[in-house]
Chains A and B, each alone.
Chain A
Amino acid sequence: MKRPDRPAHQFAIAIALGSAAVVAVLLFLPLTAGSDPASRLATAKAAVSLADQLPLLVGVGAGFGLAAGSVIGGLRAYHQEVEDR
């Protein structure tokens, strides 16, 4: 028996939340953090510098959030419409 397909907006939600989680992990644990004192300090300074630009960070989150949300919302509406048909 064929398993019914999951609605597209559920995949979209999973992809959006997964991407957000990956970005959060990368922000907390850099991939290529060096072990020598100079690069450790440079990475620390970059993190502090990033946190100093909160408005831009909020803007980035808002932009991509709006994009993901509108796609998910559209797909959900489409799914409901097709189901109701």
Chain B
Amino acid sequence: MRSTEGQLRSTRSRILAGLVACWLVVALASGGAVAGVAADVGYQDADAACSSDAATSEFSMLLLLQNGDVVGPGETVELYPGTEARVVFCGGSGEEPAGDAWTLADAEELSIEGSGEYHYTVRTGDVAFEGDIATFEEQREGVEGPTLTIVTPQRTTLSYLDDPVTLRFVTGSDNGGPIAEELAAYNRSLTDAARIRTTLSEAANSSSPTGADGNVTAASKTRRDLNAAGENLSGALFVAAQNGTAGAAQGFVRHEAHHERTLAALDASVERYLAAAQAEARTARLTAIGALLGSFLLFGAVGGGIGQWIAKRDLESIRRERRRRSSVEYGWSDLKKAFAIAALGVIAGTVLSVLLGSTLLEVLL
């Protein structure tokens, strides 16, 4: 049953991993994350951007994002430090040449990385900023642009991974981040699982595994809790990756693999402990069989001798009696003394079996 569950989990994991593959590519390639945006489909053309609804005024400065979004006047965008974007200027008749019809100032908040015919490529600086990007335009008057907010991301690291992954996110209503609760619960489960594994390992290596503190019921509960916590964290990472949290997609994939390995390691610990306990039980069974059968055969031989001797004595007296009176016949009742000894033996054996109690039944059945 566990193997079927494992196969289902494995299949589901592969599907989920496939679904987030695109986000993983984006997250790894872009380095910085755009709040509320996940997929990187490339910049829009300056021409198309100026023809879009984002160009709301006659002199609009537009911010083009790597995911294809176009942010225009009246809109607000939050970007992490180090995020790359393009700035275009739309005049009355469409896009206007960069560095000629308009010029963007190189600033700490928005540094110029390069330029094209109709755009500047900019990168947000590692400073707190909130303002209209039109303020960076140097030549023209009456230009309107979107409001840019540079936000400092919070970080959460999946430190339990062999190769830890750090998630970056903007603190909102959930101050601990999008996976805070799930991560804390999973870390607690990992601690419990590690403790159980240590206990089981010590018990398996002890001289008497069955007498050691190897609680497989607690191990089963810990496995269930660990599995639930791991599933919850997977779900939270998946949603975070969907929402564009940097590092979440990579964290999801590595967490899934780590979670599978952790469950397998816990199962292996339980199996090792049970194997050690069963090896001890096998020796105990052989000892019990030896004691029971040995005494049965030994006392069987003794009982046989006694029974035969007593019966023979009684039968000889019957034989003598038959010589005197021909009406005397042999019968099973002539063995009553031997049968009486047998009855005593059965009673003694039964009483001692009862004293062994449920242990004997538990082993036999």
Contacts and interface: CB of A to CB of B under 8 A. Distances in A.
Interface of A: 16, 20, 23-24, 26-28, 30-32, 37-38, 40-54, 56-78, 80-82, 85
Contact of A67 (B277, B278, B342, B362): B342
Contact of B301 (A42, A45, A69, A82): A69
B349 A60 contact: yes
Q: Which 3 A-B pairs have the closest CB atoms?
A: A69-B303, A63-B349, A73-B307
A61 B362 contact: no
A47 B365 CA distance: 11
Contacts of A45: 210, 277, 281
Contact of A51 (B287, B294, B345, B347): B287
Given A47-B363, A66-B302, A67-B343, A56 B355 contact: yes
B345 A74 contact: no
Given A47-B284, A51-B287, 6 more contacts: A28-B286, A56-B355, A62-B298, A66-B348, A78-B311, A81-B319
Interface stretch (B121-129, B174-182, B212-220): B212-220
Contacts, number: 249
Interface stretch (B72-80, B100-108, B330-338): B330-338
Interface string B307-341: 11111100110110000000000101011011101
Contact of A74 (B286, B296, B308): B308
24 contacts: A24-B292, A27-B288, A31-B364, A38-B216, A41-B214, A48-B211, A51-B283, A51-B288, A51-B291, A61-B292, A61-B299, A62-B348, A63-B348, A63-B351, A66-B342, A68-B296, A69-B304, A70-B307, A70-B310, A70-B339, A73-B304, A73-B338, A74-B307, A81-B316
B300 A66 contact: yes
B180 to A, nearest CB: 34
B306 A27 contact: no
B349 A67 contact: yes
B15 interface: no
B303 A81 contact: no
Q: Bin the interface of chain B by size.
A: 35 or more
B10 interface: no
B285 A69 contact: no
From A30, A37, A47, A75, residue with most partner B Cβ within 10 Å: A47
B210 A78 contact: no
B302 A43 contact: no
B171 to A, nearest CB: 44
Contact of B315 (A68, A69, A81): A81
A30 B346 CA distance: 24
Given A45-B277, A78-B335, A38 B217 contact: yes
A73 B352 contact: no
